[in-house]
Homo-oligomer: A and B are copies of this chain.
Amino acid sequence: MPNPTAAILVIGDEILSGRTRDANMHHLANVLSEIGIDLKEARFVSDDEPAIIDSVRALSKGYDHVFTSGGIGPTHDDITADAIAAAFETHIDVREDALTILKAHYERQGVELNEARLRMARIPDGAELIDNPVSSAPGFRLGNVYVMAGVPSIFQAMVQSVLPSFTGGLPILSETLRVERGEGDIATELGALAKAYPDVSMGSYPFQKDGVYGTNLVLRSSDRVRLAAAKEDLIKRVQHDA
Interface residues of A (CB under 8 A from B): 12-22, 25-26, 29-33, 39-46, 48, 51, 73-77, 111, 114-117, 119-120, 134-135, 151, 153, 172, 174, 182-185, 187-188, 190-191, 194, 201-208, 218, 220
Contacts and interface: CB of A to CB of B under 8 A. Distances in A.
Contact of A76 (B45, B119, B191): B191
A16 B29 contact: yes
Q: Which 7 A-B pairs have the closest CB atoms?
A: A116-B187, A18-B29, A18-B30, A76-B191, A117-B184, A42-B44, A74-B184
A2 to B, nearest CB: 13
Contacts of A45: 40-41
A17 B218 CA distance: 11
Given A17-B220, A116-B183, 7 more contacts: A14-B205, A16-B39, A19-B174, A21-B21, A41-B44, A42-B42, A76-B187
A201 B13 contact: yes
Nearest to A41: B45
A32 B13 CA distance: 14
Given A13-B201, A194-B77, A208-B153, A116 B18 contact: no
A12 B204 CA distance: 10
B12 A203 contact: yes
